[in-house]
């Protein structure tokens, strides 16, 4: 795990060339780890990314009594034969507060042990990230909840299947509801469910453990409760957010990159949005190829109107690609409006891009206008969150001169050994640590 004093030194302006392997989906890894709590038999997971958040989640489970063994760089074995539900004075509190994904243990522990007390989860500071959807779902399944300071207490003598309409298509809210419902008695129907690739991975994993979930990949999930789940060996899919980040990096730097095992079936909306910015990529089997020659010209809407790129739940454009795509747009010819509907602080990183020479107007916490192309120059800055950190790294690679990015532990939370993956492509990037 990287030291908190680590920083990157990047000499930009060098085109990249070569192939890089897609990592496993970060947002699938955390619920898959949490799902190990649903059985007392061994669970073996493959293709988990070697990132800080996975290590933190595994450490959290270990403190709860789960036997955790790392079989290889991307393979883990877990056995929750004996579990100690967290307490308000327990030793795992610091880990709960360090990642947003910690909230995902609530559904499994409620389903299997009928009680759980957790602190408010941590994660990126990109605005308010409500957890109401999770607990409204638990309540509909028969649980009772109380808030004590910064702790949530949830308990249920028995969970019963129900017809449940989520108040928003929350990814982790859906995952928590599903993990609680698989061991509830009767049938649960979840409407307005999130359907992202990582939600699909979790449902397939649970079915392989003996759950009965229908409607995977849709916004309506039907779950027939079972008495118990068994162990499983499961491989999670590629991280479409990382793949989208590499495509944007190639386009912004005028590079030719091949992304191996990229699960292109999850990139249809990314393709549509990137093409509006004059960026194209090719599919070759399971691989993605980004050509070096790109038009990089923003296509106006009909009638010559300024186009808008916005995020929304799957299958719309992913919120986690907004920051990276905005940087890519600074290198395209034209004007485009970015509208982040989901998080009110995600776009605040653009002040750093402006300092690098980008022509960006931050209209309000949710909207920014990009005027491109803008030649960028090196700058010293700090990564505020995972996705903004990767966006700044893309900007630094596209810029002329040397940039320094501090607080790179944020990037490490979501991107596996990024500098080791980029150097073979020709990137001039070095990790250093302050003494």
- Residues for the chain: how many in total? 435
Report how far residue 284's alpha carbon sits from residue 286's, in angstroms, rounded to the nearest whole number.
6
Query: DSSP secondary structure string, 230-246?
Result: --EEEE--B-HHHHHHH
Asked if 201 is an active-site residue, the reply is no
3 state DSSP class of 275 = helix
Determine how β-strand 282-284 pairs with β-strand 287-290: antiparallel
- Structural Rg of the chain based on CA atoms: 22
Q: Are 320 and 385 in contact, with CB atoms under 8 Å apart? A: no
* Segment holding 117, helix H or strand E: strand 115-119
3-class secondary-structure state, position 130: coil
- 59, 86 contact by CB (below 8 A): no
> What is the C-alpha to C-alpha distance for residues 330 and 163, in angstroms, rounded to an integer?
46
* Contacts (Cβ under 8 Å, ≥6 apart) of 48: 24, 29, 32, 33, 54, 74, 75, 76, 236
Give the Cα separation of 331 and 317 in Å (integer): 20
Q: Choose, from 124, 201, 239, 412, the residue flagged as catalytic.
A: 124
User: Which residues are part of the catalytic machinery?
Assistant: 124
């Amino acid at each position: 795990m990287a030291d908190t004093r680590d920083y990157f030194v990047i000499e930009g302006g060098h085109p990249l060339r070569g192939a890089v392997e897609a990592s496993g989906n970060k947002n699938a890894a955390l619920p898959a780890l949490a799902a190990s709590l649903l059985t007392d038999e061994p669970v073996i997971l493959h293709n988990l990314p070697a990132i800080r958040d996975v290590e933190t989640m595994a450490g959290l489970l270990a403190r709860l009594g789960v036997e955790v063994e790392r079989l290889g760089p991307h393979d883990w074995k877990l056995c929750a034969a004996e579990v100690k539900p967290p307490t308000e004075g327990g030793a795992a509190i610091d880990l709960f507060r360090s990642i947003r994904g910690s909230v995902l243990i609530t559904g499994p522990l409620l389903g299997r042990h009928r009680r759980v007390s957790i602190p408010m989860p941590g994660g990126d500071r990109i605005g308010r990230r409500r957890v109401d959807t999770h607990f409204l779902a638990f309540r509909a399944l028969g649980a009772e909840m109380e808030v004590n300071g910064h702790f949530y207490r949830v308990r249920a003598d028995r969970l019963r299947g129900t017809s449940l309409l989520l108040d928003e298509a929350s990814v982790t809210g859906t995952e928590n509801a599903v993990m609680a419902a698989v061991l509830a008695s009767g049938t649960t129907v979840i409407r307005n469910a999130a359907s992202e690739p990582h939600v699909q991975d979790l449902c397939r994993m649970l079915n392989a453990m003996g759950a009965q979930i229908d409607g995977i990949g849709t916004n309506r999930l039907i779950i027939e409760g079972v008495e118990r789940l068994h162990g499983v060996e499961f491989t999670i899919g590629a991280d479409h957010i990382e793949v989208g980040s590499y495509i944007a990096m190639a386009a912004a730097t005028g590079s030719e990159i091949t992304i191996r095992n990229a699960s292109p079936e999850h990139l249809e909306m990314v393709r549509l949005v990137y093409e509006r910015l004059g960026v194209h990529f090719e599919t070759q089997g399971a691989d993605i190829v980004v050509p070096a020659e790109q038009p990089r010209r923003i296509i106006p809407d009909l009638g010559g109107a300024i186009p808008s790129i916005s995020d929304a739940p799957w299958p719309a454009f992913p919120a986690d690609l907004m920051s990276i795509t905005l940087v890519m747009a600074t290198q395209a010819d034209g004007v485009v409006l970015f509208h982040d509907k989901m998080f009110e602080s995600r776009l605040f990183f653009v002040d750093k891009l402006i300092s690098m020479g980008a022509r960006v107007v931050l209209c309000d916490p949710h909207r920014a206008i990009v005027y491109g192309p803008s030649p960028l120059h090196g700058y010293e800055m700090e990564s505020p969150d995972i996705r903004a950190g990767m966006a700044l790294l893309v900007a630094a690679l596209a810029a002329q001169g040397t940039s320094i990015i501090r607080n790179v532990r944020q990037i490490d939370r979501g991107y596996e050994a990024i500098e080791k993956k980029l150097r073979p492509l020709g990137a001039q990037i070095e990790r250093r640590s302050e003494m």
